[in-house]
A and B are shown apart, each in its own frame.
Chain A
Amino acid sequence: MRTLSPRLTQRIAFSILFAATLFVILPVAFIIGVILKNGLGAVNWEFLTAMPRASMREGGILPAIVGTFCLVAGAVLFALPLGLCAAIYLSEYSKDSRLNRAVRLAIVNLAGVPSVVFGLFGLALFVGFFRFGASILAGSLTLGLMILPVIITSSREALDAVPGSFREVSLSLGATKLQTIKYAVLPHALPGILTGTILGVGRAAGETAPILFTVAAFYLPRLPRSIFDQAMALPYHLYVLSTQVPNVAPKIRYGTALVLLAIVLLMNFLAIAIRSHFRAKKKW
């Protein structure tokens, strides 16, 4: 049997690896391309700032944009303090490896729960049991639970990445443990925590299932007045436009998708920018 020359083998292997890499980029480029091409024409000032009209076939998507921002803000307000406290406890205080293992297992499982299950859970707990009704509060809490694992995991990694010598110096200067965390650890973990939170936000902004039963209004052409109001939200609005309302101009559907995609991608870019900004400054 003839064997290929090492040089040729190398070239083939390189081509395969290169093709695989390209293949990853392809769908992203394709999705963005199609949505841009079909949606860009729809996006203008009125589309972003007006109420929907004529059963959502005309007008803008302002209430869905506002609704999504409210939901995401609520989710972060709930999940960031909770997740950060948990991460600090796990990273700085807990020495009990069994508790640590149990929590890590719980986080992995929480991250693996399908989003529609979160939706049903939110319906049962927040909408039903706590009687919040279908509301921004219930939806935010549900989304908050969903991004909790992202926030805990990334906060913990950020805290663990702070060199032990910072803690040692701080303690050796007579700081208490809490002061050490506050002054010598948290400030240096903040970029990582922020990055994780923004990634969580991006995820929360795009999810449909968790808000389906807990907050999302089919058609509500006004802005929410309180956290107990129902609200429209971009992902659900897109679903409604695409499947529930006949004769919607494709332009409006794609325009909605474009706005949602832009928000999520913006979040991701922001996270990347923060991370690289601080990585460049980091010297330890």
Chain B
Amino acid sequence: MAAPILLTESLNLFYGNFQALKNVNLSVAGRRITSIIGPSGCGKSTLLRVFNRMNDLVEGARVTGRVLLDGEDIYAPGTDLLSLRKKVGMVFQRPNPFPISVFENILFGLRVHQLAGKSKDRLREIVKESLESVLLWEDLKDRLNGLATNLSLEQQQRICIARLFVVRPEVLLMDEPCSALDPLATARIEELMQELKKNYTIVIVTHNMQQAARVSDDTGYMYLGELVEFGATQKIFTTPRDKRTEDYITGRAG
């Protein structure tokens, strides 16, 4: 396994008095797909939101332990949240493009990072690249000024992924990105993930075990805030070491 890009050491997270993550030690390798599975409320989404510090927005959330991105502790005092979130992009459960044009949606990240002042042609170039990387350019090149919210859910989710690329992230966090999509759309997004893996490190949270088995290289099973087991996906699904993991993947629990 390559050197980890993301690493947690004795990570604990509390919401007030409730401990949502318990001593999580996880290492995510670069340019692979790592999936986190587990029953609802096990803390998998919380863990995902540790990596771009979106949990900071929750009142009363508190973290102990270390989380290293490229060897740097992202919870160290003085961490620049803005550049962290540029490096670590997030795709949400429900496709959530802004109710503005496709073009403006893709460029939202640029606007925010004041890389504006680019020529119209350059901006179109950027939009083209982003949409090409999610295989939407051919479909949408004549509809860039249409509302993104008028597209199909699958296309909307692709736009949400494409929107991340303009700020050049390294890691893509995906929080059940297919749960609002039908099986065909899900299959196509999964294909896309295989494509994206060549350039990005992907961490996906899913409660769809088949999805985890299909798309991911490594899998972690979480239960009640603990990372019960972590390893190569094949191993987790064929020869789990922990009884709890076995119960879950064979459908006896969760």
A residues adjacent to B (C-beta < 8 A): 95, 163, 165-166, 168-176, 179, 183-184, 187-188, 281-284
Query: Pick the contact of A179 from B89, B99, B112 — CB < 8 Å?
Result: B112
Asked if residues A281 and B99 are in contact (CB atoms below 8 Å), the reply is yes
Q: A165-B94, A169-B98, A174-B83 are in contact. Are A283 and B59 (CB under 8 A)?
A: no
Query: Pick the contact of B167 from A169, A174, A283 — CB < 8 Å?
Result: A174
Query: Pick the contact of A173 from B57, B100, B150, B167 — CB < 8 Å?
Result: B167
B143 at the interface (CB under 8 A from A): no
* Chain B contacts for A170, CB-based, 8 A: 108, 112
* Chain A contacts for B150, CB-based, 8 A: 283
How many interface residues does B have (CB within 8 Å)?
A: 30
Q: A168-B54, A183-B108, A183-B111 are in contact. Are A176 and B82 (CB under 8 A)?
A: yes
> CA A66 – CA B249 in complex, angstroms?
76
B residues adjacent to A (C-beta < 8 A): 52, 54, 57, 59, 81-86, 89-90, 92, 94, 96, 98-100, 108-109, 111-113, 147, 149-150, 160, 163-164, 167
> CA A175 – CA B83 in complex, angstroms?
9
The B interface is mostly helix, strand or loop, or mixed, namely: helix
Q: A165-B92, A283-B147 are in contact. Are A174 and B112 (CB under 8 A)?
A: yes
Asked if residues B99 and A173 are in contact (CB atoms below 8 Å), the reply is no
CB-based nearest A residue for B59: A95
CB-based nearest B residue for A169: B96
Smallest CB–CB gap between B171 and chain A, Å?
Answer: 12
Q: A184-B98, A283-B147 are in contact. Are A172 and B90 (CB under 8 A)?
A: yes
CB-based nearest A residue for B49: A172
* Chain B contacts for A187, CB-based, 8 A: 100
> CA A281 – CA B89 in complex, angstroms?
29
Asked if residues B96 and A173 are in contact (CB atoms below 8 Å), the reply is no
Query: Pick the contact of B99 from A168, A175, A283 — CB < 8 Å?
Result: A283
Query: Pick the contact of B52 from A163, A172, A176 — CB < 8 Å?
Result: A172
> CA A166 – CA B113 in complex, angstroms?
17
* Chain B contacts for A166, CB-based, 8 A: 96, 98
A-B contact pairs, 19 of them (CB 8 A): A165-B94, A165-B96, A166-B96, A166-B98, A170-B108, A173-B85, A173-B163, A173-B167, A174-B84, A174-B109, A174-B167, A175-B82, A175-B112, A183-B108, A183-B111, A184-B98, A283-B99, A283-B150, A284-B149
* Chain A contacts for B54, CB-based, 8 A: 168, 171-172
* Chain A contacts for B84, CB-based, 8 A: 174
* Chain A contacts for B57, CB-based, 8 A: 168, 171
Output the residue of B81, B108, B164 with the most chain A CB within 10 A.
B108
> CA A283 – CA B150 in complex, angstroms?
8
CB-based nearest B residue for A187: B100
Q: A169-B92, A172-B90, A173-B163 are in contact. Are A284 and B99 (CB under 8 A)?
A: yes
